[in-house]
């Protein structure tokens, strides 16, 4: 290379170096902005108003929770409670139409926790209680589910319920033999959040044959509660 050409070549090399350096800085800036969130800021030189913005987002999943008896909100617990009416110690009272208190249930004394919490109901929906038939003693004798009554009382839970949950059917007839009873629940803002203490009694209106009635699925001793959310 001639001496007269050296300054031109040196200038070209410096120009290329500056160009590549600038390109590298721009690429790094783009990568940083794409890979990380930046808070907004605003600088005002002199008099004026500075503003900045910040976005918030809250994500609430759709869910449905039903509890009758033992449970831990909001999880699934596979414990099935038993409400027992044992007349062994009250033989003289059998069939005298005096209602009998039960034992068992997560709240004891024949009482259970009842809760429905769901957040995607577009309209009123039924909570149902189904049986497959009258309670049997396994020897051909039965006691009708009409012998069971229930009372519903307010129950404090966390999160707090919006209202008291009524039992399907009526207080005097919460169950039906081989059928379902229902209660309509109305959402507020698509949410149903109700709870109650359900206490059951045995009406004791007649003298049945000896035996243990219900207690097992085979002897029609289990009630199935159902609610569906879209």
What are the pLDDT tens digits along the chain (230 aa)?
Answer: 544 544 444 443 444 443 433 444 334 444 444 444 456 999 999 999 999 999 999 999 999 999 999 999 999 999 999 999 999 999 999 999 999 999 999 999 999 999 999 999 999 999 999 999 999 999 999 999 999 999 999 999 999 999 999 999 999 999 999 999 999 999 999 999 999 999 999 999 999 999 999 999 999 999 999 999 99
In total, the chain counts a number of residues equal to 230
* Residues 78 and 161 occupy one common structural domain: yes
> What integer pLDDT is reported at residue 28 of this predicted model?
42
* Residues 68 and 132 occupy one common structural domain: yes
Q: Looking at the domain assignment, is residue 51 inside a domain?
A: no
Nearby residues of 131 by Cβ (< 8 Å), 6 or more positions away: 145, 175, 176, 177, 178, 179, 220, 222, 223, 224
Nearby residues of 218 by Cβ (< 8 Å), 6 or more positions away: 138
* Residues 30 and 68 occupy one common structural domain: no
* Residues 21 and 107 occupy one common structural domain: no
* Residues 29 and 71 occupy one common structural domain: no
Measured distance CA(207)–CA(217) in Å, rounded: 23
* Residues 90 and 177 occupy one common structural domain: yes
* Residues 107 and 150 occupy one common structural domain: yes
Q: Looking at the domain assignment, is residue 50 inside a domain?
A: no
Q: Residue 76 sits in which domain range?
A: 64-226
Q: Looking at the domain assignment, is residue 190 inside a domain?
A: yes
Q: Is the peptide bond before 74 cis (omega within 30 degrees of 0)?
A: yes
Measured distance CA(182)–CA(175) in Å, rounded: 9
Number of domains in the chain: 2
Tokens linked to 214: 């219900």
* Residues 29 and 88 occupy one common structural domain: no
* Residues 17 and 118 occupy one common structural domain: no
Q: Looking at the domain assignment, is residue 58 inside a domain?
A: no
pTM over 0.85: no
Q: Looking at the domain assignment, is residue 53 inside a domain?
A: no
Nearby residues of 71 by Cβ (< 8 Å), 6 or more positions away: 77, 79, 106, 113, 115
Q: Are 196 and 153 in contact (CB under 8 A)?
A: yes
Half-sphere exposure of 40 (CA within 13 A, CB side): 7
The residue to which tokens 């839970």 are assigned: 157
Q: Looking at the domain assignment, is residue 193 inside a domain?
A: yes
């Amino acid at each position: 290379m001639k001496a007269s050409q050296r300054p031109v070549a040196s200038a070209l090399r410096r120009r290329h170096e500056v160009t590549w350096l600038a390109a590298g800085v721009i690429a790094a800036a783009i990568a940083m902005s794409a890979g990380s969130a930046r808070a907004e800021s605003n600088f005002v030189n002199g008099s004026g108003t500075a503003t900045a913005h910040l976005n918030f987002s809250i994500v609430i999943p759709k869910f449905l929770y039903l509890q009758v008896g033992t449970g831990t909100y909001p999880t699934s617990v596979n414990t099935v409670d038993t409400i027992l009416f044992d007349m062994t110690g009250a033989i003289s009272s059998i069939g005298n139409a005096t209602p009998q208190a039960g034992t068992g249930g997560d709240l004891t004394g024949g009482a259970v926790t009842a809760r429905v919490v769901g957040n995607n109901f577009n309209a009123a929906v039924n909570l149902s209680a189904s049986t497959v038939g009258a309670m049997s003693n396994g020897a051909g004798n039965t006691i009708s589910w009409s012998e069971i009554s229930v009372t519903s009382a307010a129950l404090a839970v966390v999160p707090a319920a919006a209202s008291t949950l009524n039992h399907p059917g009526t207080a005097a007839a919460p169950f039906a033999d081989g059928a379902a009873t229902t209660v309509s629940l109305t959402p507020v803002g698509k949410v149903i959040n109700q709870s109650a203490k359900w206490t059951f009694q045995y009406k004791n209106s007649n003298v049945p044959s000896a035996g243990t009635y219900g207690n097992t699925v085979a002897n029609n001793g289990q009630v199935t509660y159902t609610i569906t959310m879209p």
